[in-house]
């Protein structure tokens, strides 16, 4: 299935110390996309080697180079590239040739067909060490369990997006690992396609084992966002209310003990629990209210709507 489109494509690639990969990568992109209308956007994430000199040295009119002011990390480098991208379709990939540009045409064809907003790769025969593969298997499993969305490979950087979905991803921190999930939260229709995977061409990986902890924290945040982003009071309010109720019940019991039975309650641990539950409950409740206000500010300050429309028709004619 090969559908050549005349629409502009933006290939967005973050580069951090990839001086020995940039030229080969550019050649491979050109080979794979012959006949397409495309721009390549490299984001130099404040490399300490000669990455940007190498990119400029190509003197290639299709290559755009964004130089960041400091090392912001892969997510924000991607975000900078996506913001700048002018294409109708936006394609992201890694700069170390672990992804293979020759997979792009097939993925793109699904996007051009119009049914899907995000086509993401499933890396076949992944060429990474076990230290990487095992945590990523666990993360994939957890995401599958909690989202009921069957994402096979969250970590594959090779993706094709429609412009609308890519530009609304809101990438912060190190959320590039969960882009598929973020897109799903934005209502994207997702197609997964098997893609090739290679060992890093040159240079070294930018991540070590510490990423496991970041992934866990990011995942918890995402789980919260997925369920409660638009209604935090349902989490914090209900929890807070239950705690206040428990605290009040405990204290009422103590009141009966004190007034009814005339026993001393000042030294009873239960008194502390009762007070703590009430205080913590009030705190949770107010956090819920503050978050409700924040979420309104979030949407209204950007004139964003909390819903996304697929299509509108009048009679049976699409508008």
Output the CA torsion sign for 217, 124, 195, 14.
positive
Q: In sequence order, what are the residues at sequence separation of 6 or more whose Cβ sits closer than 8 angstroms to the Cβ of residue 43? A: 12, 13, 14, 15, 65, 66, 68, 77, 78, 80, 81
Angle formed at CA 217 by CA 215 and CA 230, multiple of 5 degrees: 115
Closest CA to 173 of 295, 69, 70, 76: 76
Out of 9, 10, 11, 16, which residue is the one contacting ligand UDP (CB under 6 A)? 16
Query: Binding to ligand UDP (CB under 6 A): which residues in 64-83?
Result: 71, 73-74, 77
18, interface contact from ligand UDP, Mg ion, none, CB < 5-8 Å by kind: ligand UDP
**Under rule CB under 5 A, residue 19 binds Mg ion:** no
Query: Binding to ligand UDP (CB under 6 A): which residues in 168-207?
Result: 205-207
Out of 18, 45, 96, 218, which residue is the one contacting Mg ion (CB under 5 A)? 96
Whole-angstrom distance, CA of residue 117 vs CA of residue 181:
13
Query: Binding to Mg ion (CB under 5 A): which residues in 187-246?
Result: none
Q: Which stretch binds Mg ion (CB under 5 A): 9-17, 39-47, 89-97, 118-126?
A: 89-97
Per the CB < 8 A criterion, the answer to whether 29 and 101 are in contact is yes
Out of 10, 51, 74, 98, which residue is the one contacting Mg ion (CB under 5 A)? 98
Nearer to ligand UDP, 14 or 87 (CB): 14
207, interface contact from Mg ion, ligand UDP, none, CB < 5-8 Å by kind: ligand UDP
In a 13 Å sphere around the CA of 109, the CA atoms on its Cβ side amount to 9
| SS3 at position 267 | coil
Contacts to ligand UDP by CB under 6 A: 14-16, 18, 45, 71, 73-74, 77, 94-96, 98, 205-207
């Amino acid at each position: 299935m090969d559908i050549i489109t005349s629409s502009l494509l933006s290939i967005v690639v973050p580069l951090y110390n990839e001086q020995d990969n940039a030229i080969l990568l550019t050649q491979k992109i050109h080979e794979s996309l012959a006949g397409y209308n495309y721009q390549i956007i490299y984001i130099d994430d404040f490399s300490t080697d000669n990455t940007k000199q190498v990119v400029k040295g190509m003197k290639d009119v299709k290559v755009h180079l964004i130089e960041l002011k400091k090392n912001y990390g892969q997510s924000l480098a991607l975000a900078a590239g996506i913001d700048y991208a002018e294409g109708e379709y936006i394609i992201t990939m890694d700069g170390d040739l672990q992804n293979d540009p020759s997979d792009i045409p097939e993925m793109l064809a699904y996007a051009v067909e119009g049914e899907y907003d995000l086509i993401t790769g499933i890396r076949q025969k992944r060429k990474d060490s076990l230290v990487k593969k095992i945590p990523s298997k666990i993360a994939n499993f957890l995401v599958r369990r909690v989202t009921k969305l069957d994402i096979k490979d969250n970590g594959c950087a090779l993706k094709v997006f429609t412009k609308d979905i890519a530009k609304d991803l809101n990438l912060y921190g190190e959320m590039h690992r969960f882009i598929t999930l973020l897109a799903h939260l934005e209502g994207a229709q997702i197609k997964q396609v098997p893609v090739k995977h290679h060992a890093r061409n040159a240079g070294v990986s930018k991540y070590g084992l510490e990423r496991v902890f970041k992934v866990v924290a990011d995942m918890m945040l995402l789980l919260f966002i997925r369920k409660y982003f638009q209604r935090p009071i349902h989490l914090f309010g209900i929890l807070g209310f239950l705690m206040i109720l428990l605290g009040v019940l405990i204290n009422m019991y103590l009141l009966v003990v004190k007034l009814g039975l005339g026993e001393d309650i000042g030294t009873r641990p239960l008194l502390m629990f009762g007070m703590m539950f009430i205080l913590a409950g009030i705190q949770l409740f107010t956090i819920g209210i503050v978050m409700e206000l924040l979420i309104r500010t979030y949407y209204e300050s950007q004139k964003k709507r909390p819903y996304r429309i697929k299509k509108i028709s009048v009679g049976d004619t699409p508008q």
